[in-house]
Structure 1
Amino acid sequence: MANPWAGEVEVVLGAERRVAKLTLGALAELEAGLGEASLMDLVRRFESGAFSSRDVLALLVAGLRGGGWEGRAEDLRTVEIGGGPVGAARIAAELLARAFTVPGQGGS
């Protein structure tokens, strides 16, 4: 089970439940992979609804890797993510929110 106080989000990959978390290393990998000037640019895209499927996939991979998963983006292209594309986008947004807020203080 995911612990929101630790910034964790539950992700269902096929029949397997995983924990995702944006650690500092995962955030650095995400920033480098997306080529953003800053992570705040990515946060703004999510807040405005202007994010892409590439953004969602990159966030999921970074979060899962921060949670100990050793897979690659290619692995997520063939597995059913709980909630489908909408669920994946919700999880990605939740990962960002939990990385930058404290639960109970304006975050999710």
Structure 2
Amino acid sequence: MANPYAGEVALVIDGERQVLRLTLGALAELEAGLQSDSLVALVERFEGGGYSARDVLALIVAGLRGGGWQGRVDDLMQAEVAGGPMAAAKAAAELLARAFSLPGDAP
């Protein structure tokens, strides 16, 4: 079970339940992958509803890595996410919110 107080979010990918978490290392990798954007810009895009599929994928990959996943981005390109793109976007938004909230304030 995902622990929201630890910043964890659950997502079912290819029929397997995965626990995602944005650790400091995962956030650093995410920031490097965004190239010209900052994490603040990413948060603002999610808050304003202006995020892209690329943003969602980058967050899911970072969260998976923070949860111990050893895969590659290419492994997710054909993966089936239970609930589809909306479930993936919701999980990505929850990851961001939980990474930047105090314990007890987690959504």
Matches of 1:75 and 1:59 in 2, distance apart? 15
Which string of whole-angstrom CA distances, capped at 9 and with x for unpartnered residues, describes residues 79-101 of structure 1? 11121000000000000000000
Give the unaligned 5+ runs of structure 2.
Answer: none
SS in 2 for 1:88: helix
Farther-moved stretch of structure 1 (70-79 vs 58-67) = 70-79
Shift of 1:102: 2.4
RMSD: 1.1
Matches of 1:68 and 1:33 in 2, distance apart? 18
Matches of 1:54 and 1:64 in 2, distance apart? 15
Query: Normalising to structure 2: TM-score of the pair?
Result: 0.95
Farther-moved stretch of structure 1 (73-82 vs 26-35) = 73-82
Over the matched positions of the two proteins, sequence identity in percent amounts to: 65
Q: Is 1:33 aligned to 2:39, yes or no?
A: no
- Describe the shift of the 1:77–1:37 C-alpha distance in structure 2 as closer, same or farther (beyond 3 A): closer
Q: How does 1:1-108 map to 2 (within 5 A)?
A: 1-105=1-105, 107-108=106-107
Q: Name the count of aligned residue pairs.
A: 107
Higher relative contact order (CA 8 A, sep 6+): 2
Query: Normalising to structure 1: TM-score of the pair?
Result: 0.94
Runs of 4+ more than 3 Å apart: none
Matches of 1:63 and 1:54 in 2, distance apart? 14
